[in-house]
Amino acid sequence: MTINYETYFQQSIDLLKAEGRYRVFNDLERKAGSFPLAKSHVTGRTVTVWCSNDYLGMGQHPKVITAMAEAIGRLGAGAGGTRNISGTHHAMVTLEETLAELHRKEAALAMTSGYVTNEATLGTLCSMLPDCLVYSDEFNHASMIHGMRNSKAEKHIFRHNDADHLESLIKASDSARPKVIAFESVYSMDGDISPIKAFCDLADEYNAITYLDEVHAVGMYGPRGAGVAERDGVMERVTIIQGTLGKAYGVMGGYIAGSQALVDMIRSYAPGFIFTTALPPALTAGANASIRHLMESGEERIRQHYNVQVTRDMLTKAGLPVMPSDSHILPVLVADPVLCKQASDMLLNQFDIYVQPINFPTVPRGTERLRITPNPTHTHAMMVELTRALVWVFERLGIKPEVERLKEVA
């Protein structure tokens, strides 16, 4: 019997299309020096990007671009392989020293992405601790979930940001077993912020360690941009801080910061680090320049937080269903995958505005949304145009603000 494998592949794609959640990548070409503008190869016109995770526009900052160009000219394009085989180029050493300084930890370790960092670190950490128990927020990122799953450690899921529920789970466990509490600071789809201090208090009381994912917060919060934990004055209490170089820092890569022994253990045992080609010199040099700049400059953060508040006020005043958010992320509820994609397409085609649709499995079914991330380079005129365009699109599609629905998904 001949098996037609293409049939299986096509059926899986057809299923996504039937459910209205087939993803289309918009072909965009960002314009350095003109962010948030980009050329759309779909429409052939210039569009305003409202959904980038380059939260502060650092991907086009002159210091970052200069550092990357200089590194390529001096060190070449690639890293030459894994760090175990090819050695560690000095730009990587400098970057890790900066990351340790940023988070006031003894050491740091950089990897190729935030996803790889979470999966490799949690997978290794929870497997190396004997008979480990791991407590995971129910809304943790897929990379964290996969890392914990790969470790085969016993996992308990606590209700989102619920310290009382977490404590009840810990109390019901064997006090002699090692414990890891894993959570994020800023949750990227809802924009809410976790009670870091409360989780650290529980870790202290029950002899656990904390693993904090700050990928949507580093660069953005705190006087030096070290994240929400720095802003809240609890950074030194967190055992392991994980971050990214690919969002507010505008480049690419992920990292952890913690004690010397912990970081050395992950470096020595994590397959996701050991067997992966290292970040090239240009990326590490650019990331280092970005971090150093944001450690000294608060201008980008101030402007970004101001633009977020102005945009939120405009959208809310216009009667648009803006979901509650404590951060720089502004989700606008659509609650239907087909309408969400249609709204995104209409914004692009009618108004040259790009906001990507967010649907299952990134968010639960019935909470599909447009995720808006204002940055320092958005102008007041752009905010006005976005608001007018969203009102027009929502009226045409019959998407209405449902107050009770917003309460339900909050």
Instruction: Give catalytic residue positions.
Output: 247
**Residue closest to 377 by CA, chosen among 50, 40, 44:** 50
CB 38 within 8 A of CB 28: yes
Nearest partner of 125 among 179, 174, 83, judged by Cα: 179
| Placement of tokens 């309408």 in the chain | 339
Amino acid at position 291, single letter: I
Cα within 13 Å of Cα(151), Cβ side: 30
φ and ψ at residue 323, rounded to 5 degrees: -75, 150
* Rounded Cα–Cα distance for residues 12 and 174 (Å): 43
- 64: how many CB neighbours lie within 10 A of its CB? 23
Which stretches of 104-255 are DSSP H helices? 114-128, 142-151, 163-171, 196-205, 228-231
Task: Answer whether 339's CB lies under 8 Å from 34's CB.
Answer: no
CA distance 154 to 177: 11
